[in-house]
């Protein structure tokens, strides 16, 4: 099961970090953009090529420090077919370096549509008796707010192919409170609790049959670093659920905010940082690296983040 491999790599590297590969032109060094634009013009195909070159350099400089990367598919989809090709090549290259890949796709539909998403991303697509792997992520993010039948197809592929999912429970964005914090009442007990508590309970139940050797389920949860108290309560209620934690760094989450999300073994979470790592060369602390050494700046940012988290 790939959740076991993820936990093993975190233990081996002492690095509960996932690097978000969310490229934007404003964060790409000028010398990369200028070379490609001169050759291909200012086209979607050119931007896809720029993103791949950028991602490749980042991966080359961090693959031995972290267990996983997390490309956000929207940054690639906006470019059409060239962007999807870049997304696929990024996944393939990351895996060639031994990294696990969390596809941040946030799918959330039902029935045959959910099944198609699942087969394409973490399962296999059958074409008249011949099976094909398409995107080949190890994990993907899933939106559960259409209920159990929006998640069930992914559970089957997790079981069949050893893959994993991270289900949105309490997200890092300020607007999450608009829905996720709304109080609901249990009809049997009359107890009132936030919706995200109920979603967390469902996530735990969905993963009960998919628990690996490290004690964590293949069904993980997305819990934002910007909600430390909520994360602490969710950890207490979800002891077998691994948390994917966005919101560290640029969104305001700190290492201190994460303390309650770890379990007693100092495991249980993997913390995402995107522009705080890939755009490090543009930040004051790493500006001395300059554009030419942007990937070295990213490596330094990973090492600093690791030190911060492990403290």
* Residues with a known catalytic role: 106
Cα(95)–Cα(25) distance, integer angstroms:
24
The gap from C-alpha 225 to its chain's centroid, in whole angstroms, comes to 13
By the 8 A CB rule, do 75 and 22 touch?
A: yes
CA-CA distance, 170 to 223, in Å (whole number)?
5
Instruction: Supply the DSSP string of 250-295, one letter for each residue.
Output: TTSB-TGGGGGGS-TTS-SEEEEESHHHHTGGGSGGGGGGTGGGHH
Q: Return the DSSP state at 25.
A: G
Instruction: Report the alpha-carbon distance of residue 150 to residue 277 in Å, rounded.
Output: 33
Sign, CA dihedral 55-60-66-67, equals positive
What is the Cα–Cα distance from 46 to 48, expressed in whole angstroms? 5
Q: Under a CB-based contact definition with an 8 Å cutoff, are residues 24 and 75 in contact?
A: yes
């Amino acid at each position: 099961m790939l959740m076991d491999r993820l936990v093993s790599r975190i233990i081996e590297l002492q690095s509960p970090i996932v690097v978000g590969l969310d490229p934007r032109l404003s964060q790409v060094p000028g010398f990369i953009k200028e070379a490609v634009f001169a050759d291909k013009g200012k086209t979607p195909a050119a931007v896809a090529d720029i993103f791949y070159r950028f991602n490749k350099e980042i991966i080359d400089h961090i693959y031995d420090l972290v267990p996983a990367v997390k490309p956000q598919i929207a940054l690639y989809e906006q470019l059409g077919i060239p962007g999807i090709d870049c997304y696929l090549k990024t996944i393939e290259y990351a895996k060639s370096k031994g990294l696990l890949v969390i596809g941040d796709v946030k799918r959330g539909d039902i029935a045959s549509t959910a099944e198609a998403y699942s087969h394409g991303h973490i399962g296999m697509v059958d074409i008249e008796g011949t099976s094909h792997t398409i995107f080949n992520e190890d994990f993907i993010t899933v939106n559960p707010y259409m209920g159990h039948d929006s998640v069930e197809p992914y559970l089957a592929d997790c079981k069949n192919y050893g893959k994993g999912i991270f289900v949105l429970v309490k997200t890092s964005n300020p607007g999450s409170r608009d829905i996720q914090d709304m109080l609901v009442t249990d009809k049997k007990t009359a107890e009132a609790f936030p919706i995200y508590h109920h979603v967390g309970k469902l996530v735990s139940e969905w993963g009960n049959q998919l628990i690996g050797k490290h004690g964590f389920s293949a069904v993980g949860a997305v819990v934002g670093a910007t909600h430390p108290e909520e994360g602490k309560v969710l950890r207490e209620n979800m002891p077998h659920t691994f948390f994917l934690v966005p919101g560290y760094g640029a969104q305001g989450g700190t290492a201190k905010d994460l303390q309650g999300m770890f379990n007693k073994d100092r495991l249980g979470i993997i913390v995402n940082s995107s522009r705080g790592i890939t755009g490090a060369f543009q930040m004051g602390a790493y500006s001395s690296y300059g554009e030419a050494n942007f990937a070295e700046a990213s490596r330094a940012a990973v090492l600093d983040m690791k030190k911060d988290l492990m403290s």
